[in-house]
Amino acid sequence: MNKIIYSLGIVATLVATALALTACEENDFDKIGTSSNTPPKVTSPVSVGDVNATILEVKERYCSSSATATHKRNDKNFYSRCDEDLVITGVVVANDISGNLYQTLLLRNIEPTGEDQCIILGVKNTCLYPYFPLGQRIKVNLKGLWLGVYSLVPRIGQPTLSSYGNMNLGPMLFELLRTNVELVGAPDLSAPELRPVDLTGVAGDEWLRSDTNRKYYYTPRLATIGGSIREVSVANRNTLEYGSETDFPELYGKPESLSPNGKKIFAPYELHDKGFSVDRTIELYSNNTVVNLRTSTKIELSYKELPEDGHNYTGILTYYDNWQMQLRDINDVYPHLQ
């Protein structure tokens, strides 16, 4: 009998201890979870230096020509290491909040002179937006980082070996944010950098058709274009495309998935390419210019129905053999859903 009572006493003590520990853990969790809605700081706790260069100056030096690059795969992919304290500033105008942009931040800065430039900052992380919300100004010390172009698009990052065995300018390590990137103030949703360049009219169409604008100086940029998607025009609306990626035989010959309403969607999985994305074609209102609308599969936006009428689209505009746009999130095409 005494043994039973002794055993029960031990059990009671263990239960009480467990409850006490659980209570402590809950209190600690509550403290962490409710004391602040902001994520932990991953950028430099001290200044990375005074701004001493513009985005344009950096692009002209590292992104304008492969002739001066220290590493070159071809004229569309080259890069060099920065070995001096060059510090630029920019406002985050695109991030990875929707999943459509991968390991990508788009920085834009409008100088007092009116100079308006963007560059991509690649960071090896799949959840950047809590640390870099839209409207957040940052400074980047480029020393130790790499600059150049990937598929003709100016960017900051570091060399990365691709799945095809090529060395390209990929994203920099997440840990380097701690030494090379500094937050400046709080996010400002009224920042002029967040207003996209308007390319929706006739003048915008002419600008896109001009060969002189298809260069590093004008790409990447945050822009709005207007037009209709070719794949849902009256002539093509009921014509289904079929998967053609031989690397994915389970999809070969399978028609594209439709919405529950039987409508075409942005990025049916059956049509994905090796980048797990789908290209749709925006015909601008003049019908003389087209822009590829590139959307990742298996994200919220990929399942949305394609607008069947004329529409405006906002996103990152780049040029590689053709103009290409990537939307930042669903509000770039359906702003009424905000």
Instruction: Answer for the pair 106, 135: CB distance below 8 angstroms, yes or no.
Output: no
What integer pLDDT is reported at residue 36 of this predicted model?
Answer: 55
β-sheet bridge partners, residue 228? 283
28 by DSSP, 3-state: which? helix
Residue 29 has pLDDT above 70, yes or no: no
What integer pLDDT is reported at residue 26 of this predicted model?
Answer: 37
Sorting pLDDT into bands at 50, 70 and 90, what band is 318?
very high
pLDDT digits (tens, 9 = 90+) for 147-156: 999 999 999 9
Which of 61, 114, 68, 58 minimizes the C-alpha distance to 89?
58
C-alpha–C-alpha distance, residues 187 and 207, integer Å: 31
- Across the chain, mean pLDDT equals 88
Count of C-beta atoms within a 10 Å radius of residue 10: 10
What integer pLDDT is reported at residue 23 of this predicted model?
Answer: 38
Which of 202, 192, 193, 118 minimizes the C-alpha distance to 156?
118
Question: For 140-208, what is the HEC assignment?
Answer: EECCCCEEEEECCEEEEEEEEECCCCCEEEECEEHHHHHHHEEEECCCCCCCHHHCCEECCCHHHHHHH
What integer pLDDT is reported at residue 303 of this predicted model?
Answer: 97
Six-digit token string for 74: 């071809």
Instruction: Answer for the pair 98, 330: CB distance below 8 angstroms, yes or no.
Output: yes
pTM for this entry? 0.86
Beta strand 323-327 with 290-296: parallel, antiparallel or unpaired?
Answer: parallel
| DSSP label of 76 | T
pLDDT digits (tens, 9 = 90+) for 49-75: 999 999 999 999 999 999 999 999 999
Q: In percent, how much of the chain has pLDDT > 90?
A: 76
What integer pLDDT is reported at residue 120 of this predicted model?
Answer: 98
Residue 236 has pLDDT above 60, yes or no: yes
Sorting pLDDT into bands at 50, 70 and 90, what band is 119?
very high
pLDDT digits (tens, 9 = 90+) for 192-227: 999 999 999 889 999 999 999 999 999 999 999 999
Q: How many helices (H) and strands (E) does the chain have?
A: 4, 17
C-alpha–C-alpha distance, residues 236 and 270, integer Å: 18
What integer pLDDT is reported at residue 250 of this predicted model?
Answer: 78
Of 106-115, 163-172, 213-222, 296-305, the one with minimum mean pLDDT is: 163-172
Of 171-185, 238-252, 255-269, 322-336, the one with minimum mean pLDDT is: 238-252
Please say whether the dihedral angle defined by the alpha carbons of residues 97, 102, 104 and 108, taken in this order, is positive or negative: negative
pLDDT digits (tens, 9 = 90+) for 241-297: 998 777 777 777 889 999 999 999 999 999 998 889 999 999 998 767 899 999 999
Residue 17 has pLDDT above 90, yes or no: no
